[in-house]
Structure 1
């Protein structure tokens, strides 16, 4: 397993790590602690040492499973969770230090841990990034030993650029993949300059970049790929990276032609790792065997300049007009 430094946290994390949104349900499967335990232990057995979760995944059940994993293993496992999405309504005004403090304490209780390696604001409204009192809270929580580091999970590039102006922000989690190519233009450069760790989520565009979907593919009623294609439940960009499904399928076919006889998911993950500014990528897994498949991407040779250009050409022609300036 290759490792990269997670920005100014100084943590050395597996470049392919694990996101647990699927483990927490809402992808058409109910939460199962037995399945979660299998997935999480398989990840550690394979050499993964960084797990990303959130208090809203499975209504806290994902955090409980991650905490159980950490307590049961001898390896050093770095845990990142998130707070803020439990606010109802999820508005900028609802973000208050007292509420966020309670969320942190709830996460510690869920995981039965004394401290959190990384706590991330969970895609708050843009106005929150302009409120210093929100970020100051996490200095106090760090002084109290409840957290070690603060990060943000963002929807928009502008949010990341604003967040890293706060000196206690150490990481930015963002959507970055073959269908979302704006971040390197400025955010990556500023993150490198400030020694910010970059955690990449939605690396396969909600499965589109596996190349396994077709116009006939269906999704369960409670799978966000069924109910959130137009942003009905949360930010549209979280589902298929905001790309129209039919357009995405057409772009995938072109990508398959550019990389014949190679699993597109492996290529998509390897493409992300071509960017040195990326600290780690956190694909999800709903079965243990998917973890081993994800890890194969790290074993691939670097993509050539011609291959990188082919990906860019497909993006520029098919995807850029749809998403580039939205996020």
Structure 2
């Protein structure tokens, strides 16, 4: 496992880390603590030392599983969680200092921890990034010892550029993959300038970049890949990175032609890790096999300049016109 620094936090974290949206089962299924424990322990055994969760993942069950395992291990494991998505309606006006404080304290209870290494605002409405009182709260929580650092999980480049203007923001979590390339422009440039850690989520475009799907693939009724393709429940960009499913499949077929003998998930992860602005990538895993496959990317051979250029050309031809300027 290779390690990188998470911006101003100074944390030395595994470049392949673990996102826990589906760690207790596939999206929308009942949470299995046995499955979660197996995946989390295996991840730590193999050198992963950064785990990302959120209070809304399986209504707190993910946080409970992460906290339980972290407390049972002797290794230093950095825990990142997120808050804000429980607000209903999920609008700027719902974001209050009191509500966010309560969420942080609930996360501490869920995980049984005295302090949280990193708390991230969980994709709040854009207007929240223009409210200094929200960001000031986390300075107080840090002074109280309840958190160590603040980050923001974002949907749009604009939100990231605004968030890093607050001196206490240390990291940005965002969608970045071969089908979502816009961050690797002004946002990455400014993040590097301001020493902001970048956590890449949805690295496989909700599984699209695994190459395992077809036009006839079906998803469970509680799976966001079934019910959120047009943003019915939350930002459309979280599902298949906002890419039209059929166009995405066509682009994937081109990737298969480029890499006929190589696992596409490995290629997708190596494409992300080529950017030194990236602190870590957080693919999820609903079983041990997925976890092991993801981790292979840290030691795999680097992509060549020609391979990267060919991947980018597929993006330009199939994806960019409909996605690039949206987020």
**TM-score normalized with structure 2 length:** 0.99
| Secondary structure of residue in 1 paired with 2:184 | helix
| Secondary structure of residue in 2 paired with 1:152 | strand
Alignment of 1:223-242 (within 5 A): 223-242=223-242
> 2: distance between equivalents of 1:16 and 1:26?
20
Aligned to 1:306: 306
Instruction: Provide structure 2 residue ranges, at least 5 long, that are not aligned to the other structure.
Output: none
Give yes or no for contact 1:28–1:219 (8 Å, CA) kept in 2. no
| Secondary structure of residue in 2 paired with 1:308 | helix
Q: CA deviation at 1:26?
A: 6.2
Pairs aligned (count): 327
Aligned to 2:99: 99
> 2: distance between equivalents of 1:38 and 1:26?
15
Q: Deviations over 1:99-125 (max 9, x none)?
A: 000000000000000000000000000
Alignment of 1:240-255 (within 5 A): 240-255=240-255
Alignment of 1:103-252 (within 5 A): 103-252=103-252
Q: CA deviation at 1:258?
A: 1.2
Matched, 1:76 2:76: yes
Q: CA deviation at 1:322?
A: 1.1
Matched, 1:316 2:311: no
**TM-score normalized with structure 1 length:** 0.99
Aligned to 1:66: 66
Give yes or no for contact 1:25–1:58 (8 Å, CA) kept in 2. no
> 2: distance between equivalents of 1:40 and 1:22?
12
> 2: distance between equivalents of 1:14 and 1:299?
12
Q: CA deviation at 1:61?
A: 0.4
| Secondary structure of residue in 1 paired with 2:249 | helix
Aligned to 1:23: 23
Q: Deviations over 1:50-76 (max 9, x none)?
A: 000000000000000000011100010
Q: CA deviation at 1:25?
A: 5.1
Q: CA RMSD in A?
A: 0.8
> 2: distance between equivalents of 1:192 and 1:312?
22
> 1: distance between equivalents of 2:25 and 2:133?
33
| Secondary structure of residue in 1 paired with 2:280 | strand
Aligned to 1:256: 256
> 1: distance between equivalents of 2:302 and 2:192?
21
Matched, 1:8 2:8: yes
Instruction: Could you list the structure 1 runs, at least 4 aligned residues long, displaced by more than 2 angstroms after superposition.
Output: none
